[in-house]
Amino acid sequence: MSFFEKLLKIDRKVIFIVIAVLVLFPLLKPLGLGVSSGPRAKAVFDAVDAIPPGKTLLISVDFDPASMPELYPMLVALMRHCFAKNVKVLLCGLWITGAGLADRAVTEIPPEYGKKYGEDVVYLGWKAGVDAVILGMGENIKNVFPVDYYGHPLDSLPMMQEVTRLRDIPFMVAISAGTPGFADWLLYAQSRYGMRVGAGVTAVSAADAYPYLQSGQLTGLLAGMKGAAEYEVLVQKNGYSRAYMPAVAAMDSQSLAHIVIMVLVIIGNVAFFATRRIRR
Amino acid sequence: MISIILGVLFAGMSAPLIQVRDTPNDAGKSITLNWQFLSESPASAVVVQRVEKDGEPVVVASLPGSERWFVDEGVIDRQPYRYRVGAVSDGDTLWSEWSEVVSSSPQFFNWARLNILVSMVVFFVLVIYFIENARAGRYLFVRRIAGLDAVEEAVGRATEMGKPIVYVPGLGSVADIATIASLNILGEVAKKTAQYDSALLVPNRDPIVYTVAREVVKEAYTRAGRPDAFKPDNIFFVTSEQFAYAAAVDGLMVREKPATNFFLGTFWAEALILAETGATTGAIQIAGTDSVFQLPFFITACDYTLIGEELYAASAYLSREPLLLGSLKGQDYGKMLIIIIVVFGSLLLLLSRIPQLGFFSKIINFFNVS
Amino acid sequence: MRRSLPLALCLVMGIIMMIQFFVPHPVSVAFYDLTTKWIRIVSAFALVLGVGSLVLYHTDRLRRKRAGWEYSIVTLAGLVVTAIIGLGWGVKPGSPLQEVLFKNMLVPLNASMFAILAFYMASAAYRAFRARTKEAVLLLIAAFVVMLGMVPVGEAIWHKLPEFAEWILSVPNMAAKRAILFGVALGAIATSLKVILGIERGWLGGGKG
Amino acid sequence: MHISTNIWTWVAVLLTFGIFSFLWKDNPFYKFCEHLFVGISVGYTIALTWYNSVYPDLVTPLFREGKPLYIIPFVLGLCYFCRFIPKVSWLIRVPMGFVLGWASGVAIPAYFQTNIIKQIQGSLLTPAIFARWDIFLWALISFIGVVCSVLYFFFSREHKGALRLASETGIVFLMIGFGASFGYTVMARMSLLIGRFQFLLRDWLGVIK
């Protein structure tokens, strides 16, 4: 069997080991390759930065634990950015599995800035019926969420007095790992209530957000772990936070992994075409 | 109107000119005010006053000097009001005349959404016209999609080898178009497996799709004259959790070693797990989805991929079902209309650069959405 | 009756909601508010179907001792225990459901399922992603440019690479995705119309009954 | 290096390796985790659906505040239970008709507004493109890309002559678009694996910060 045929016959477990080693190595010994920043992440940062103190940023937590590495750092960085500027944060969710993640962020991040639940941050929880939830919130948030995730009636939360419906919210970021996600917020919140929407997405759905960016429906995009790393860098550079940046720390492994994938595709195709020529 | 302008000229200081109207296209209880200053000297603030029939003037808003409009949402429908606007600069306020009487009322039609209504009506007419044609039995041409030859060839291969077929109707619900299209194709595939008596395994992720899929296969078997060959257990519900489902289907493909795998419907991140594991079992793989995110994997890892709407066209072409064909033709001509609008719209808009044809630039506003 | 009632209900609701979109009048908004509440309730009940068919499937597999029946015990036990703990001790943070079952079981299981995708991606890159056709070649070239443009290494190779990757994303990619958007939207609208008019009856379940 | 002493972290680690074992081959340890995952996720959905949807949206208004109108969604929701009673199993079509009709009626105008009219507006060439040579060129390429890609999905005529040329240009744009998505997806998968390794190295072994 020629060298190329042997190449093609490599057991896929070998490839698994190669990937595991190359991803683990930089986590232990950082290579310090750094993070390049693009215009789309800056657009989200500028939109959040423009929110006047006392006003509210809405974040929709529409992802699950499996997408945490890419999307959870975005949620944390956005919250740190708001709290550093005394902007209030309102969270809700369309994914049942996002409930636990939003709750974790709401318990861990506010104390870093001395912010209190009910005054500076509220988590409404998860609700079934995507379009019904968004459209309901457009008319009156209390209709959809009579009580927040922790069971407090909305009237008892000081922050919720001036935020009764979507029109009271200057900007929102939909952090979504698929459907339902930012497309639904555009389809229902923007088209009916003129909501300005930014999006944080898993890298897999980033390329498909571009038509909405070009048409002006989306105000900026955080694409995958790279988007999270870019936002973390922007938040730190503007002096809003000095905390550890998980997404930035992971970018070395990310870069190495990309190169490995490209090399694998090239070798795989070279071997494939070489064996085909021999066989013909 | 004239009296106001004369008054302003003599006063030296510009008193604002005010227009009021019931806010259009709304649920009522709201009046829109616009005003301008004749001279450029900016006021430090603007105060808005409102008075009911014979009540006392009430200040409803004080805004920054640069503001030129305000929407008063604290009014009662059909109640007469008058407004005036005061330009405040270093201490004294110069009031405009009281506006004419205005009252708010809800509207029954939102004129700002006329463009949506027009496009809806046009597209409905197209779809219904072609569906009526299809019902009347008129022949509707749809070009053959390359992937379809593969579907029939792949089913033939499985029946020759006597190996099962795994048909994944996607992870979407009956509300997803791709799922409905997939269930149509499932019906066609089931008709063939009924004739050749080869096993057709249909793992489901959505409970309702599961019940519908079971009915579709049962009916296909009865239509093919083989109700006895129908095994309800082959169509089963796995779980609604996305990844538990992908792992379960992988386990199924590794255990059953099918000759052909179909992945038709709505897919998310688990598409790669299915396509790659399926490829390692050596099966022919036909994929089709309108989930744009997953198409790159199906295109590179499967033998044939129906891209986006080709899935809809395939279900219409395969089943020759007049209603599917009708709506497909309607969509086709809908697309043609979009292209015509984009091409001619652009042409006219570009021509609007020529001064005489300046009015063409208004075309862009037809596409505003509120 | 078994088919005409659901179809009629679907037709009426569809027409009313389309008209409602164009009527800003308070009555229409109030009707809208009411129905959105009802829809949320009814779609929550749909869960009954999922749980029901899953429990039936596994109890049946258990009773008939079909292959893998031991694992059905695991699924049924997992379901019952989790539901009881969740319903019994609540879903609020700090409850056993969240602290134990969600954080230390559902999260690792769900996250690990996604993580093995990276391994499949690598092996698929090597064994499945073939530049068989002109289209596949184009796909892989664009993919390489975008991948390199996203990571600092790309910038090291050619300083304009991130810009080129951004161009690929905002011009050709945007045009392609917009075209797909048109097609998918028209398809969704046509099918929604057929569902409302009772032409598309797949959801009824093909059976005559 | 200080290994975690929390029993539940160890459970999470075991479950992580359980799922990862599927990479080696389908084995009992993996099957256990797979079935446990199925059971827990459904149980979790039951608990959350009760506390977040059924209780606040239905039980409170109907039974606690006694609003009679909520009988209707309650009855519609109950119809889903008939799915398991053969004689009346057709009744599930009633709530399905209600939900599908409502959803289609709401979706159609929203689709026109967001996916069609707004995207047409974005595709139109306006005099603004004459500002700079590159703006003009990219706008022209996007315009051609949208038109040709839409024509690729035109099924009413055989692709011959001009239509063939347009559709072949269209497929080029489509493949570049899919290539861009492919590139981003590779990044996504790798991030997920990195996330799992960060959990193992940080929360379990305590080797990294």
- Parallel, antiparallel, or unpaired for β B82-89 and B45-51? antiparallel
**Percent of chain C beyond pLDDT 70?**
96
Which residues 114-173 of B have a C-beta within 8 angstroms of C? 116-117, 120, 123-124, 127, 131
Q: What is the DSSP string of C5-58?
A: HHHHHHHHHHHHHHHHHH--SHHHHHHHHHHHHHHHHHHHHTHHHHHHHHHHHH
Which residues 111-150 of A have a C-beta within 8 angstroms of D? 125-129, 131, 135, 146-147
Q: 3-class DSSP state for residue B17? A: strand
| pLDDT at residue B1 in the model | 39
A254-280 pLDDT, tens per residue? 888 888 999 988 988 888 788 767 654
C116 → chain B, closest CA residue: B273
Tokens describing residue A213:
């960016």
Q: What is the DSSP string of D154-195?
A: --SS---HHHHHHHHHHHHHHHHHHHHHHHHHHHHHHHHHHH
| pLDDT at residue B6 in the model | 41
Mean pLDDT, chain B, rounded, equals: 84
Residue B86 per-residue DSSP state: E
D92 → chain B, closest CA residue: B208
Is A251–C144 a contact, with Cβ atoms under 8 angstroms apart? no
Is D117–B115 a contact, with Cβ atoms under 8 angstroms apart? yes
Top pLDDT among B158 and A9 is at B158
The answer to whether A16 touches C123, Cβ cutoff 8 Å, is yes
Residue ranges in chain D modelled with pLDDT below 70: none
Q: How far are the Cα atoms of A4, A22, D9 from residue A7, in angstroms, in the given order? A: 5, 20, 40
B246-293 pLDDT, tens per residue? 878 988 998 899 999 999 999 987 888 788 778 777 788 899 998 877
Chains that touch B (3 or more CB pairs under 8 A): A, C, D
Is B346–D124 a contact, with Cβ atoms under 8 angstroms apart? yes
Is D121–B367 a contact, with Cβ atoms under 8 angstroms apart? yes
Is C199–B108 a contact, with Cβ atoms under 8 angstroms apart? no
Helices and strands in chain B: count of H runs, count of E runs: 10, 13
* Phi, psi dihedrals of residue C60, rounded to the nearest 5°: -65, -45
Is A178–B269 a contact, with Cβ atoms under 8 angstroms apart? yes
Task: Taking residues C143-160, report their average pLDDT.
Answer: 84
Residue D70: HSE in the Cβ half-sphere, 13 Å Cα cutoff: 17
Domains plus CATH for chain B? Answer: 16-103 (2.60.40.10), 111-130+324-367 (no CATH), 140-320 (3.40.50)
* Separation of alpha carbons A114 and B215, rounded Å: 58
Residue C209 pLDDT grade (very low, low, confident, very high; cuts 50, 70, 90) = very low
What is this model's ipTM?
Answer: 0.78
| pLDDT at residue B41 in the model | 64
The answer to whether A41 touches A221, Cβ cutoff 8 Å, is yes
C119 contacts in chain A (CB < 8 Å): 15-16, 19-20
Q: How far is A262 from chain C (nearest CA, A)?
A: 7
Q: How far are the Cα atoms of A131, A270, C16, C78 from residue A184, in angstroms, in the given order? A: 7, 43, 21, 33
What per-residue string of b and e applies to C85-105 under the rule 16 or more CB within 10 Å gives b? bbeeebbebebebbebbbbbb
Q: Report yes or no: A216 at the C interface, CB cutoff 8 Å.
A: no
B286-333 pLDDT, tens per residue? 999 988 778 888 888 888 888 888 888 888 887 777 877 888 899 999
Q: How far is D165 from chain C (nearest CA, A)?
A: 15
Q: 3-class DSSP state for residue A37? A: coil
| pLDDT at residue C208 in the model | 38
D186 → chain C, closest CA residue: C121
Domains plus CATH for chain A? Answer: 3-26+256-279 (no CATH), 35-243 (3.40.50.10160)
Residue type, C169: L
